[in-house]
Amino acid sequence: MTTVTVNTPRAFAACESCYAAGRLVGVWVDAVDAADITPAQIHVDSGVDFTAEGCEEFVCMDTDGLPTTGEPSLEEAARWGEIHAEVGDDRWPALCAWVRSGAYITEGDSDFPSLSDFEEVYAGNWESFREYAEDLADDIGLLDGMPDHLQGYFDWEAWTRDLAFDHVIEPDGHGGKFILRSL
């Protein structure tokens, strides 16, 4: 298996009033903290009086490390930060791959992934799908009871190909694969 180093998801929170006036005033924060940002934090080192009228409205202008594109609200960025904290650094890349695949299951009527469903479908990080398939075959006793002299005739390629139809297989960015069962 491949070890993946993850950066904490982050959001760039910016002052809308300053942006409208032609100044990019904001700060990168951990996504989990994005909804709780204060005017003083946004305007730190900007030279702008954060008590000025209009400087209390903030937006998320950029993100880093989220599985989605676009500019979420600061509250949505914070929810992604909470999801990262719940799933942990080790599984975050797999969850992001699941979301990017489009085959993920959402929480209620939101666009956020269901972590209980993720835990159910996540089958691990493997060097190849074939390696996963062979391990699964051992776990379920696929060839148990088949005489040893006949096991060589088992069509691993066809079985692995057919098994893949019931899985989401996403690259892990390091030569391996995240394997997720389809529900």
Indicate the domain borders of the chain: 1-87, 91-183
Q: Is the pLDDT of residue 94 over 80?
A: yes
* Distance from the Cα of residue 55 to its chain's centroid: 32
Give the residue from 36, 57, 40 showing the smallest Cα distance to 49: 40
Q: Is the pLDDT of residue 2 over 60?
A: no
pLDDT at 86: 97
Q: Is the pLDDT of residue 4 over 60?
A: no
Mean pLDDT calculated for residue range 119-147: 96
Question: 1 vs 137, which has greater pLDDT?
Answer: 137
Burial of 18 per CB tally in 10 Å (0-12, 13-18, 19+): buried
Mean pLDDT calculated for residue range 86-94: 96
Cross-strand pairs, 110: none
pLDDT at 3: 46
Mean pLDDT calculated for residue range 75-92: 96
pLDDT at 53: 75
> What letter represents residue 148's amino acid?
D
Q: Is the pLDDT of residue 177 over 60?
A: yes
15-56 pLDDT, tens digit each: 999 999 999 999 999 999 999 999 889 988 787 777 777 788
96-125 pLDDT, tens digit each: 999 999 999 999 999 999 999 999 999 999
Residues 6+ apart with CB under 8 A from 125: 1, 2, 4, 94, 172, 176, 177, 178, 179
pLDDT at 52: 73
Q: Global pTM?
A: 0.85
48-82 pLDDT, tens digit each: 777 777 788 899 999 999 999 888 999 999 999 99
